[in-house]
Amino acid sequence: MIHEKIIILDFGSQYTQLIARRVRELNIYCEIHPFNKIPEMDKDVKAVILSGSPFSVRDENAPNPNLENIRKKLPLLAVCYGAQYLAKIDGGEVLPSKIREYGRANLSYVDSGDLLLKDVPDNSQVWMSHGDTISILPSNFKIIASTKDVEIAAYKIEEEDTYAIQFHPEVYHSTDGKQILQNFLFNIAKCSADWTPSTFVEDTVSGLKEKLGDDKVVLGLSGGVDSTVAAVLLHKAIGENLYCIFVDNGLLRKDEFESVLNQYHGMGLNVKGVNAKDRFYDKLQGLSDPEKKRKAIGGIFIDVFDDESNLIKDVKWLAQGTIYPDVIESISATGGPSATIKSHHNVGGLPDYMKLKIVEPLRTLFKDEVRRVGKSMGIDSELLGRHPFPGPGLAIRILGDITAEKVRILQEVDHIFISSLRRDGLYDEVWQAGAIFLPVQSVGVMGDERTYENAVALRAVESTDGMTADWVHLPYEFLAKVSNEIINKVKGINRVVYDISSKPPATIEWE
């Protein structure tokens, strides 16, 4: 099925992905393309959106796209930089702002009769982020919104379905931003909202059947959301011709290998569990540097995966759980400033000698969409709701060298923490949680005896995409109970601390 779509031209704004996510939330398919690689405007393209940018339109090297195949031919919405760009190229004037507007502002004038601003109230809060201001508009441009500091907060070009706004409707701080996007997409671009999880599944399964035929596909499962949803989609398309490999690197959470493997078998997937703990521990012996640990884990994973793949006769395809932010990052003309969702702990690609073609069934989806697609296919909510977990596993939550004993201790600590979050109904309020084994020992007292044992840190953050995060204000009573249970039950730990650092300046993981 061919879906109607919106093209978003990326000028490098940190918010470009948010525009796409808001459009997708309205069940309309959209794609992000670099401003200097404008795709053909096929008949299924309903409208174009121009993003913001870290550039000023007055910069010598500012983005300067050719819009002749868009202007007057398709509805166009220009946001922030896009608004300034259209005004400038048509003969208007853009100057440095006397008052740089950044953050919340309120509209002081709204043309309620305009289609773009229908049902947007006076005094609506918007989010500004710009150092330049449109000072003079071309004669055929009409102001349709203002703030007390910015007279030209929004405009329409007469005799065109071209609209521009100085603020960002895609961020939550713009309280009527969703209404503005709805107005543009439904009232102006006449979209019909035909992009849903169920249609995605139907289209993807059909496309995979046609693409793969009777070929065999191998997929490395991690227990995470992306690889799980990719596996179920492929299984629907090719059944037993999908060969899944789930590797136990000895760095998973307590009992995770067995429990997740059982879940996969219960889903009917053709999956093989491989115990490779000793190979990983041997390679990690004596390594303390985080990057060296990552590279060692990545190298062994590839070796194990290659060994297992060679046991399957005539495999032609490697399936990967690549999602849309990864794709955007790889094609961005400006080096990736708009890719606000990044996977920091990927094991990495496979070497050339494996000679497998790549299939990526999730490459058009954002993370939240992956979960919705998984839900529509009936995947267990526990699997879909799992917190993100780093590819190198507990290796980067053990500061310093890795030993089987340290892994055992951290698994026990982590199990108490995560189980307590679930038991007290806090797990789903946290975006990611875990424990960190610290490379310090401290004096303690247990009974009448002096101890000199290890310390662990607990970490729980709230976030939407992992790019920024704040520490979760877990109840003191909860933390006290968890700390007491860890110290009493986990031999080798006599001190527990709670990490109250936000990202930035800290990161979510410690390594």
User: For 419-469, what is each residue's pLDDT tens digit?
Assistant: 999 999 999 999 999 999 999 988 887 766 777 889 999 999 998 766 678
Query: Sign of the C-alpha dihedral, residues 375, 474, 472, 222?
Result: negative
Strands (E), 320-359: 357-359
Average pLDDT, stretch 494-510? 91
Strands (E), 207-280: 216-221, 242-248, 271-275
**Closest C-alpha among 17, 7, 54 to residue 464:** 17
b/e per residue, 219-251, with b = 16+ CB within 10 A? bbbbbbbbbbbbbbbbbbbbeebbbbbbbbbbb
Contact (CB, 8 A) for 319 and 222: no
Lowest mean pLDDT among 94-103, 176-185, 238-247, 438-447: 94-103
d(CA 200, CA 198): 5
Quick one: pLDDT band at residue 398, thresholds 50, 70, 90? very high
Quick one: pLDDT band at residue 356, thresholds 50, 70, 90? confident
In what side-by-side order are the strands of the sheet with 271-275?
A: 271-275, 242-248, 216-221, 315-319, 357-359
Tokens of 375: 């839900």
Question: Which pLDDT score is estimated for 388?
Answer: 84
Cα–Cα distance list, 276 to 266, 335, 394, 508 (Å): 23, 37, 15, 27
Is the predicted pLDDT of residue 121 greater than 60, yes or no?
yes
* Residue in 30, 101, 130, 168 annotated catalytic: 168
b/e per residue, 271-284, with b = 16+ CB within 10 A? bebbebbebbbebb
Q: Which residue has the higher pLDDT, 10 or 98?
A: 10
Residue 462 is a catalytic residue? no
Is the predicted pLDDT of residue 348 greater than 50, yes or no?
no
d(CA 126, CA 135): 20
Cα–Cα distance list, 249 to 189, 194, 252, 394, 414 (Å): 51, 42, 7, 10, 17
Question: Which pLDDT score is estimated for 409?
Answer: 97
* Residue in 170, 256, 412, 511 annotated catalytic: 170
Average pLDDT, stretch 170-195? 93
Is the predicted pLDDT of residue 337 greater than 70, yes or no?
no
Beta pairing, strands 45-50 & 76-79: parallel
d(CA 478, CA 499): 15
Is the predicted pLDDT of residue 345 greater than 80, yes or no?
no
Residue 473 is a catalytic residue? no
d(CA 7, CA 43): 12
Quick one: pLDDT band at residue 332, thresholds 50, 70, 90? low
Helix axes of 197-212 and 225-238: crossing angle, nearest 10 degrees: 60
* Residue in 80, 130, 256, 369 annotated catalytic: 80
Residue 168 is a catalytic residue? yes
Is the predicted pLDDT of residue 336 greater than 70, yes or no?
no
**Closest C-alpha among 308, 300, 219, 305 to residue 264:** 219
Burial class of residue 421, CB neighbours in 10 A (0-12, 13-18, 19+): buried
